[in-house]
Structure 1
Amino acid sequence: MKLYTTLVFVIVAFVVLPINAQDNSIEWTTIENVEDSLSRKRKKTILYFYTDWCVYCKKMEQSAFKDLQVIEKLKKDYYTIKLNAETADTIQIGNDQFINKNLKKSRNPTHELAELLGSRKDKPFVAPVIVLFDEQFNVIKRSFEYLSPKELYQWIQ
């Protein structure tokens, strides 16, 4: 009987708990996948630009993007894109292609798309940047700073 109880506990620990843990994370996707998804079902979209060296990006990923309220709201009402602002990838949106023109010119080369969507007049791109799009993929608003879980939740309302 003891062996049976132990076996049941082990099965629950290794099967059920990881399944529940997966439900508590944001399902990040790509711009190309969102384009396809928008053709089937219209939803707002969040585009989160980060860099590998950005301390505030890491802090947001460990707090705001792990908050259960934020996760539930994003899963329900948004497509979510996470994009490294220094990626070397060519990104296709409709008929337009975006590249990282600064790839071999700069130590921290910012991708053309990040500069286009994540910069302000007379200010360089600085991560983290979050861009909110409506159902037709038009920019509604942008955030250029760290957002706490509470601030991010209010921002996506």
Structure 2
Amino acid sequence: MKYLLSIFVFLLCFVSQAQEINWMSFNEALEAQKKEPKKIFMDVYTDWCGPCKLLDKRTFHNKDVVDYVNKHYYAVKFNGEGTEEIRYNNFTYTNPNHNPNRKGRNSQHFFANALKITGYPSMVFFDENAKLIAPVVGFKTPQQLEIYLKMIQSDDYKKLTTAAAWQKYEKSFVGTFSN
């Protein structure tokens, strides 16, 4: 009986850990869009950012978030202070001032700068043609992130042209994501 219980616990842990967002690079997402147009959801993080780590652990491992993002978006992980070369809109973005020996904060990647990233974490949305929609700055719980994921995916954001329209939308939104 103990043996069966051990196997059950192992399988339960394995299944719960196996639920992950299918992260890719931005360049990979742009290539994927050419074959199958989908919006892009980008997590812009840094290695030193505590709220980024919390977002990864608490929000990006939530089953509802994982399922929704994997179904409706190309998910991108992008280090806002990293060295990845990004090819976007006929321009190559790099981080020539990155210092690999530096601990903590580093220079901001030119692509993060072009996206006007003002804080970490930031989640950035792009449409099916890789056109920038909007960044959302700061840690979000699964329930807080849900409204953005669904509003962008459904194109409702296009109708929300005033603060009053956003407030009305936010007030009437009924979420379904669990804790």
Mark yes or no: TM-score above 0.5.
yes
Counterpart in the other structure of 1:85: 80
Taking structure 1 as reference, are residues 16 and 94 closer, same or farther at Cα in structure 2, changes over 3 Å only? farther
Query: Is 1:96 the counterpart of 2:91 in the alignment?
Result: yes
Any unmatched runs of 5+ in structure 2? Answer: 151-179
Distance in 2 (CA, whole Å) between partners of 1:16 and 1:151 is: 27
Alignment-derived partner of residue 144 in structure 2: 151
Correspondence 1:117 to 2:112: no
The answer on 1:141 being equivalent to 2:141 is: no
Amino acid of the structure 2 residue aligned with 1:145 = G
Give 1:73's aligned amino acid. Y
**What TM-score results when the alignment is normalised by the length of structure 2?**
0.71
**Alignment partner of 1:18 is 2:14:** yes
Q: Which runs of 4+ in 1 moved over 4 A?
A: 8-17
Identify if the C-alpha distance between structure 1 residues 91 and 72 changes in structure 2 by more than 3 Å, giving closer, same or farther.
same
Q: CA RMSD in A?
A: 2.3
Per-residue deviation, 1:93: 2.7
Task: Give distance in 2, aligned partners of 1:131 and 1:110.
Answer: 16
For the residue of structure 1 that corresponds to 2:143, the secondary structure is helix
* 1:83-108 Cα deviation digits (max 9, x unpaired): 1111123222353210113325x852
Structure 1 pair 62–11 and aligned structure 2 pair: CA distance change class (3 A) = closer
Give the gaps of 5 or more residues in structure 1: 120-124
Residue of structure 1 aligned with 2:122, choices 118, 129, 133: 129
| Counterparts of 1:92 and 1:140, CA distance in 2 | 18
State the alpha-carbon separation in 2 of the partners of residues 127 and 16 from structure 1: 33
Match of 1:61 among 56, 59, 77: 56
User: What is the CA-CA distance between 1:12 and the residue it aligns to?
Assistant: 6.9
